[in-house]
Chains A and B, each alone.
Chain A
Amino acid sequence: MRVDVGGRVVYAYTGARAPRAGQPDVVLVHGAANDHSVWSLQSRYVAHHGRNAYAVDLPGHGRSAGPAVTSVDALAGWLADFMAAAGIGRATLVGHSLGSLAALAAAARAPDRVAALALLGTAVPMPVSEALLDAARADDHVAFELINGWSFSAGAKLRGNRQPGVWMTGNAMRLMERTAPGVLYADLAACNDYAGGLAAAGGVRCPVLLVQGARDIMAPPANARALAAALHDVRSVMLPDCGHAMMSEAPDAVLDALRAFLPVSQAGA
């Protein structure tokens, strides 16, 4: 679906099924230099199991018009604007990496509009290495290579895609390469600069799910401990042998974690 947010076209993949009135809404928010397609399996499941899925393309990503939003707080405001434009009153927010920070900030900003929060591959704070920031600032391809090198666990760099015939790291590389110059840096700088995570966590009123990869070196599980402590209704799922790119590496485990959690959000809706 396409909606107008602030005069710009925004695309959201709805799992190949049009949203239906009366069903709970689930908004899925991708990470840096990604787009809705990282959620293709999970969003299809959501959309075909009694919920409306909106895997949104953030501004400047995928099929949504630019420019990229440059801070997590601004992304949170943008998410609220998107929900209003799409006619979504209250939703479960599912975010990965940068998207998890945007979802967290959105839940704190408008607690009455967020039924539940699933934060995948998250960390608070979420510092980005200087080397990566420098490469992204220069729009150097090395930035994508660094992300690919750090986002997949060692085994997943070589094999094992659950989607037959798809070469995971090649696919991830091509997706990142589609972003316009400057977008990756805006995304990474937003992660790096976000200092309000723990305060936001204190303002979250809904149930929260944390899904982390045991081998995630982009957002190491240890870096989410303070976040977990600051949330008052939180449960965690640790994916063994999984890196940051968990929707690719462990799509079934991610889906199972969401499947177990979504009824919680519905109960709270």
Chain B
Amino acid sequence: MTKPRTHQFDTLTLHAGSAPDPATGARATPIYQSASFVFPDSDHAAALFNMERGGHVYSRISNPTCAALEERVAALEGGVGAIATASGQAALHLAIATLQGAGTHIVASRALYGGSHNLMAYTLPRFGIETTFVDPRDLDAWRAAIRPQTRMFFGETLGNPGLDVLDVPAVAALAHEHGLPLVVDSTFTTPWLMRPFDHGADIVVHSATKFLSGHGVVIGGVVVDGGCFDWDGGAARGKFATLTEPYAGFHDMVFSEESTTAAFLLRARREGLRDFGACMAPFTAFQVLQGIETLPLRMARHVANARRIVAFLREHPLVASVGYPELPDHPDHALAQRLLPRGCGAVFSFDLAGTRAQGRRFIEGLTLFSHLANVGDAKSLVIHPASTTHFRMTADDLARAGIREGTIRLSIGLEDPDDLIEDLSRALHAAGKA
């Protein structure tokens, strides 16, 4: 049978969403550093405002550089479109605020980035949105947590920091059975390691600050619409009024009728970007685009380096355990082999066998690894989650998220792996003497 040829992933990382600039011939995507865009005439202006024509009006709502990035990430994820946001947190907030309001509920994995946990556990309740956190591996717990007010399932493709692998197909199937979308944070995996829509997820959010941009120089986020979820069909009927009922804030638009496939994205842009305003700056979009151009090359190196470091740490006497799903003793080993055939990323945690003081000495003994709160940089990074990213969590919550006092999180960069191993080796030696 004739099989059509489509552009492959590596080609899309370079070309999706952008072409040589028609006005100047510039080959790189220009930074359209303009707050607003001139209307050719009054009729055109009115048509843009009323969504009769496509185009840009004001850079809070859309911008050509950001649009190039949005198309590119949507293409790489296999979605229908995307919205670039001011940060990964803004992307998650935009997804939630577009789908639900006061009186609703989320079921979320409890293996989350501390910032996402803060938003759901402490801040959203003030706006009437409650979250039940569940063991991501326990499907019965997901099911039992569902309430009539539940509007989404949320989890990370690779949980932070223990690398719990989310069983996206199983959790998505359960969500769909109850008329709920599965929203996943795919920051640790990027579309190079996993395309969550291929496994049943409905909305993907990214912190573009991490591997997508890859160089630790910008704060940004992306929310991507898979375009498959039927917002007013089956068990979802009646749950998503923001998409299926007339919206007085846009001439009684019914988003699900306006766009069969991208109703979520439409509301997120027309309401969420318009009113909450957490848009991405064009310069940021340019830098994320630059980063994505080398995403396949970088991710392959990140993963190869991480494997070397994992192998080294596993053999070291001062290391009690290493949590990396490619290891046979990781609880998600089999799942990772199925969902993450290219690898399990470059962020992982290990537990020092020693005291808390030895942990501190270890981190302070590193020279190539930078002690800071970020991951997914080209440079290698290290942090102690219990005292930093997850410090607001109670001891019980920490334990449930797989974090101990001695847990160290590494983000493996693109340096020569032998140099990284030497750096770790020296710091472990210093810790051993502390």
Q: Do A and B come from one complex?
A: yes
What residues of A have a CB within 8 angstroms of the CB of B17 in the complex? 158-159, 167
Given the known A-B contacts A131-B1, A146-B4, are A40 and B18 also in contact in the complex, defined by CB atoms under 8 Å? no
A193: interface (CB < 8 Å):
no
Complex interface residues of chain A between 1 and 47 (CB less than 8 A to chain B)? 13, 16, 35-37, 40-42, 44-45
Q: Per-position contact with B for A150-173: 1 when CB-CB < 8 Å, else 0?
A: 100001011111111111011100
Q: Per-position contact with A for B12-36: 1 when CB-CB < 8 Å, else 0?
A: 1001111100000000000000000
Complex interface residues of chain B between 76 and 109 (CB less than 8 A to chain A)? 78-84
Q: Is the CB of A167 within 8 A of B259?
A: no
Q: Is the CB of A174 within 8 A of B51?
A: no
A150 to B259, CA, bound (A): 23
A71 to B351, CA, bound (A): 68
Say whether chain A's binding surface is mostly helix, strand, loop, or mixed. helix
Residue of B nearest to A178 (CB): B260
What residues of A have a CB within 8 angstroms of the CB of B2 in the complex? 129, 131-132, 135, 142, 146
B392: interface (CB < 8 Å):
no
Given the known A-B contacts A142-B1, A171-B227, are A162 and B53 also in contact in the complex, defined by CB atoms under 8 Å? yes
Shortest distance from the beta carbon of B286 to any chain A beta carbon, whole Å? 15
Q: Is the CB of B1 within 8 A of A170?
A: no
Complex interface residues of chain B between 365 and 387 (CB less than 8 A to chain A)? none
What residues of B have a CB within 8 angstroms of the CB of A200 in the complex? none
Say whether chain B's binding surface is mostly helix, strand, loop, or mixed. loop
Indicate which residue in B12, B19, B74, B82 contacts A160 across the interface (CB closer than 8 Å).
B19
What residues of A have a CB within 8 angstroms of the CB of B309 in the complex? none
What residues of B have a CB within 8 angstroms of the CB of A165 in the complex? 62, 66-67, 70-71, 74, 81-84, 265, 269
Q: Is the CB of B54 within 8 A of A162?
A: yes
Residue of A nearest to B3 (CB): A142
B331: interface (CB < 8 Å):
no
What residues of B have a CB within 8 angstroms of the CB of A41 in the complex? 51-54
A112: interface (CB < 8 Å):
no
Residue among A41, A170, A255 with max Cβ neighbours from chain B (10 Å):
A170
Q: Is the CB of B50 within 8 A of A159?
A: no
Q: Is the CB of B5 within 8 A of A13?
A: no
Residue of B nearest to A251 (CB): B54
Q: Is the CB of A45 within 8 A of B47?
A: yes
Q: Is the CB of A40 within 8 A of B67?
A: no
A44 to B53, CA, bound (A): 9
What residues of A have a CB within 8 angstroms of the CB of B327 in the complex? none
Residue among B54, B66, B265 with max Cβ neighbours from chain A (10 Å):
B54
Q: Is the CB of B7 within 8 A of A16?
A: no
Shortest distance from the beta carbon of A73 to any chain B beta carbon, whole Å? 27
A174 to B3, CA, bound (A): 18
Residue among A40, A41, A149, A162 with max Cβ neighbours from chain B (10 Å):
A40
Q: Is the CB of B68 within 8 A of A44?
A: no
Q: Per-position contact with A for B255-286: 1 when CB-CB < 8 Å, else 0?
A: 00111111001000100000000000000000
Shortest distance from the beta carbon of B323 to any chain A beta carbon, whole Å? 35
Question: Interface segment, B110-118, B246-254, B355-363?
Answer: B246-254
B55: interface (CB < 8 Å):
yes
Indicate which residue in A145, A155, A159, A252 contacts B54 across the interface (CB closer than 8 Å).
A252
Q: Per-position contact with B for A110-147: 1 when CB-CB < 8 Å, else 0?
A: 00000000000000000001011011000010100110
Complex interface residues of chain B between 36 and 76 (CB less than 8 A to chain A)? 47, 50-56, 61-64, 66-68, 70-71, 74-75
Q: Is the CB of A255 within 8 A of B53?
A: yes
Residue among B18, B52, B64 with max Cβ neighbours from chain A (10 Å):
B52
Using a CB–CB cutoff of 8 Å, the interface residues on chain A facing chain B are 13, 16, 35-37, 40-42, 44-45, 48, 62-63, 129, 131-132, 134-135, 140, 142, 145-146, 148-150, 155, 157-167, 169-171, 174-175, 177-178, 251-252, 255
Per CB-CB distance, the 10 closest pairs between chain A and chain B, nearest first, are A162-B54, A164-B62, A149-B4, A165-B70, A174-B227, A167-B74, A45-B52, A166-B81, A131-B2, A163-B54
- Can you list 19 residue pairs at the A/B interface with Cβ under 8 Å? A13-B257, A37-B261, A41-B51, A41-B53, A44-B50, A135-B2, A146-B2, A148-B6, A149-B6, A158-B75, A159-B19, A161-B67, A165-B62, A165-B67, A165-B82, A167-B74, A170-B74, A170-B227, A171-B262
Using a CB–CB cutoff of 8 Å, the interface residues on chain B facing chain A are 1-7, 12, 15-19, 47, 50-56, 61-64, 66-68, 70-71, 74-75, 78-84, 226-228, 230, 251-254, 257-262, 265, 269
Known: A165-B81, A178-B261. 20 other contacts (CB 8 A): A36-B260, A41-B51, A131-B1, A145-B4, A148-B4, A149-B6, A157-B7, A158-B17, A163-B81, A165-B62, A166-B71, A166-B74, A167-B74, A167-B79, A167-B80, A170-B78, A171-B227, A175-B260, A178-B260, A251-B53
